[in-house]
Amino acid sequence: MTTALYLEDSYLKECDAWVASVKDDKYVVLDQTIFYPKGGGQPSDTGKIMKEDETYEVVYVGKFAGEISHEVDRAGLKQGDRIHAILNWERRYKLMRSHTAAHVLASLLCEGTGALVTGNQLEEEKVRFDFSLEEYNQEILSDYMDKANTLLTKDIPVKWYWLPKEEALKIPGVVKMAEALPPDIPNLRIVEIVGVDKQADGGTHVRNLKEVGQIKLLKTQNKGKSNRRVYFTLV
Ligand SMILES: [Zn+2]
């Protein structure tokens, strides 16, 4: 089983690793990795795997049958190889900032209006955020964007840690996603924005709200009676 270093330290940009297996010449499993596999609304990392002077581009990372699989652009890596992994940090850091921003906005909206989050998709340049709320208009949303931006100027730490599932599920609002069932594992990873939000989450986040910067609304859509879709971006 690969050690997922990004779950403990989201700021690791490089690591050494052993190649544990290679399938079809291009799906590489490592003994440990800094690459985030697509999931939970956060896209996969990209970057490079270096073997001595050879470079393999990591074009996609996914989780298959519990294994983190790195798709590389060409054949050549073999089981037992010693490699050096390098993250496309610029992309990852943007995703960390926007993921934390999405938690802030979700938390404010859910707490203030009773909205339910129904979907969340981060991209490098924008975030899609779906929620369900009947009483709604553009001003309400602008208001919550402003509230989020005020919080994002503050020196507020963000922490992540594991809790036994039973204990974690006692935290109000710890599972924000409507219909989302917590994974069938004994411990849940909690991402806590101190004093603002606690959420069960496997994603990568910044350590302080100040790192996010500000966010800007791009567009909104209404999808039926109470389903709202919002796009925002980092500024
Ligand atoms: Zn999240």
Asked if pLDDT for residue 173 goes beyond 90, the answer is: no
196, exposed or middle or buried, with CB in 10 Å at 0-12, 13-18, 19+? middle
The CA 135 to ligand 1 mean position distance, Å, reads 25
Give CA torsion, residues 196, 200, 202, 208, to 10 deg.
Answer: 10
The CA 203 to ligand 1 mean position distance, Å, reads 6
The CA 171 to ligand 1 mean position distance, Å, reads 16
Task: Determine the Cα–Cα distance for residues 81 and 90; give it in Å rounded to an integer.
Answer: 27
- Alpha-carbon separation of residue 78 from 29, 84, 150, 153, 188 (angstroms): 10, 14, 50, 47, 34
The CA 84 to ligand 1 mean position distance, Å, reads 28
Sheet holding 127-132, edge to edge: 116-122, 127-132, 227-234, 215-223
pTM of the prediction?
0.94
pLDDT tens for residues 13-29? 999 999 999 999 999 99
The CA 124 to ligand 1 mean position distance, Å, reads 15
The CA 202 to ligand 1 mean position distance, Å, reads 7
- pLDDT for 2 equals 93
The CA 117 to ligand 1 mean position distance, Å, reads 11
Location of structure tokens 């049958």: 65
pLDDT tens for residues 72-121? 999 999 999 999 999 999 999 999 999 999 999 999 999 999 998 998 99
Task: Determine the Cα–Cα distance for residues 115 and 176; give it in Å rounded to an integer.
Answer: 10
The CA 121 to ligand 1 mean position distance, Å, reads 10
Taking Cα atoms as reference points, which of 200, 191, 205, 116 lies closest to residue 166? 200
